[in-house]
Chain A
Amino acid sequence: MADSTAQPSRSRDLDKLLLRPGHLVGPNFEPGAELRDDIKTYAKVLVVGAGGLGCELLKDLALSGFCNLEVIDMDRIEVSNLNRQFLFRLEDVGKPKAEVAAKRVMERVSGVDIVPHFCRIEDKELDFYSDFNIIVLGLDSIEARSYINAVACGFLEYDSDDNPREETFKPMVDGGTEGFKGHARVIVPGVTPCFECTIWLFPPQVKFPLCTLAETPRSAAHCIEYAHLIKWDEVHVGKTFDPDNPEHMQWVYSEAVKRAELFGIPGVTYSLTQGVVKNIIPAIASTNAIISAACTLEALKIASGCSKTLSNYLTYNGVEGLHTKVTEFVKDNDCLVCGPGVLIELDTSVTLRKFIDLLEEHPKLLLSKASVTHRGKNLYMQAPPVLEEMTRSNLDVALFDLMDKIPKDIVHVTGTAGKSGDKQSCLRKLRVAFKGINGVTEMDMAGGA
């Protein structure tokens, strides 16, 4: 299709949202062609994951007027992906998902630029993430979500009145599917609950007792977990099981079959073995399509203000009939990841010992016996004795020096708070700012950019 004919038809539906005023629009919404063009030019969106959701997300975002996209995924294409990861073909098997997905969408949607990143999310520096205006997640694990959430919340800054500074917002849209079920949620750190605020809502993983696996298996899954968790270590001393290695998986499968025969248990198959070991639930293409559509619409609303955003957690269940529901989760103000923490201003000469004493007197903290950690370094540990001994010499060093002379940074402290008799253990986030360092402190604290 020639560009001249493609352009008007491509943005026709989008124009209905972006070129006209409406009742549900945001307060700063300015409809018009400029808005549409600005989204094209300035909105940079990162898609995390190029799997079932990622393929859909890239296609949807590209068709919704986003032209600057990047995608990150560490996986290569497998045959079993092809039924739903529609950007991939049989000849792509073995190639990096991010690269093929980017190429295919760029071939089909003119004017869209997608930069692929074939690596782990942890391999990228924070600067990489700071470049994007919106991060859209198509992930399959709590761990990866928690990581990206911590990164995005890490950009958030608060002013001296503990109000989040809008220019440091890094909005995320998180999608997830599991068979016929799915969710889409909007996370604006500082405004909505972050991933960590509600992580306790996840149910614990189902884990079988080891002695059941070893002694009294009753199901096919028990036999598979026996081969995976017990038999593997018995036979392969010092060699770690790799779920992505087909030889390893085949070995576990054949051991599970032997085990099942021994106990007369039916139902062990290769695909069940993969499912149990890798926690795989069969994916449904249309669930991915629905969730991805919801996520893309949210990204468009965040960028343009053309309507209220989802507030803030949509669940979709197609198992029996069809149920969807939007729930507004509430932010945890004491969240260690997205919360403001307690602002503490100090002179550069204050020693760690003096700092720990100050925490005890601070009206918002009243924290005694504090252990202090900064950027992964344990500055002082009250216990166990071995760590107390290793960190004791820091007590008489200036905190400013222990914090590598950074004028303003986050410090975490653990200790006990409350009146004697009602002492409670607590873990707090502090925003430590040193007075009079190059004027940076005062300026930042005033809330100016």
Chain B
Amino acid sequence: MKVQNYVSDEVNIAKFAVNFTISFFFGVMGDKCLNLRASLVPGLFRTDVKGRLSMIKLFKVKEKQRELAENSNGKPPVKKQSAGELRLHRDISELNLPKTCSISFPNGKDDLMNFEVTIRPDEGYYNGGIFVFTFQISPIYPHEAPKVKCKTKVYHPNIDLEGNVCLNILREDWKPVLNINTIIYGLYHLFTEPNHEDPLNPDAAGVLRDNPKLFESNVRRAMAGGYVGQTFFTRCI
């Protein structure tokens, strides 16, 4: 009897757990899957086997408790803070901004997931300008990069007129080890070193590349409030 049962256990389980030892592979739904070798991740894998649960008795006890507690007033439900919110809390509480950058929280001190960063460059083409960026943080931050947009319309080779920003660490080069401080420094860098090689506003990028003097005067005109070509810019000095 025991042997037979052992076999039926094994057959059932073997249907799903055929051992394969050459490569590790992880596939998860929703554009996520990864391959890695165990040896690259020391301490991640353990050999002892646990997992002998039998919880039905616990379920029974709980059901009885629940029936008893049905009429008593329950605790008020509490929404948990996501791991992303906690990580962001750390990023924010450790911010160390240059004097040219400041941060504000339009929804008050308890909503850190949406905030604005104001950059006032004190050198370069954009000296004296005031540029506001909005940050939206995902609940799975830092797995996903913050969504950053420039609220101030700006004549800039790497920022388009809708406020999209071409900064590598916001998209293709984002890594969870980076943080909010890194992004703010990256944004500030865009104003001290605008780059014609990654254009999001091709007109501005072309002028910067071919005629830096004209680029400089275009920037001044845009920041003072006025037209550059067909585009009107609101004053931001």
Contact = CB atoms under 8 A, between A and B. Distances in A.
Interface of A: 16-17, 20-29, 35, 38-39, 42-44, 125-127, 131, 133-134, 139-143, 146-147, 150-151, 154, 166-167, 169, 171, 176-178, 181-184, 186, 188, 191-192, 196, 199-211, 214-215, 229-230, 233-234, 237, 279, 281, 290, 293-294, 297, 301-317, 322-330, 336-337, 371, 373, 375-378, 381-384, 386-387, 390-391, 412, 414-415, 425, 427
B17 A304 contact: no
Nearest to A43: B59
A302 B27 CA distance: 23
Given A184-B16, A207-B145, 12 more contacts: A146-B84, A177-B27, A192-B51, A200-B176, A233-B163, A302-B53, A309-B51, A310-B51, A324-B16, A376-B110, A386-B104, A414-B94
A37 to B, nearest CB: 10
Nearest to A370: B93
Given A142-B143, A176-B29, A381-B109, A43 B56 contact: yes
Contact of B27 (A27, A176, A233, A391): A176
B68 interface: no
A205 B170 CA distance: 12
Nearest to B165: A210
B53 A383 contact: no
Contacts of B96: 383
A140 B30 contact: yes
A188 B55 CA distance: 11
Given A20-B5, A383-B95, A307 B13 contact: yes
B128 interface: no
Contacts of B25: 181, 315, 317, 323, 325
Contacts of A294: 16
Interface residues of B, number: 104
Given A202-B34, A310-B17, A315-B26, A427 B86 contact: yes
A205 B31 contact: yes
Contacts of A186: 51
B95 to A, nearest CB: 5
Contacts of A297: 12-13, 16
A436 B77 CA distance: 24
B112 to A, nearest CB: 7
A17 B13 CA distance: 11
A44 B55 CA distance: 12
Contact of A167 (B26, B62, B174): B62
A336 B45 CA distance: 20
A414 B20 contact: no
A290 B53 contact: no
B207 to A, nearest CB: 15
B201 to A, nearest CB: 9
16 contacts: A24-B6, A43-B56, A142-B30, A183-B28, A207-B174, A208-B171, A215-B200, A303-B55, A311-B51, A312-B51, A316-B27, A375-B79, A376-B81, A376-B110, A386-B103, A414-B93
A233 B164 contact: yes
A305 B56 contact: yes
B32 A203 contact: yes
Contact of A384 (B28, B51, B103, B166): B103
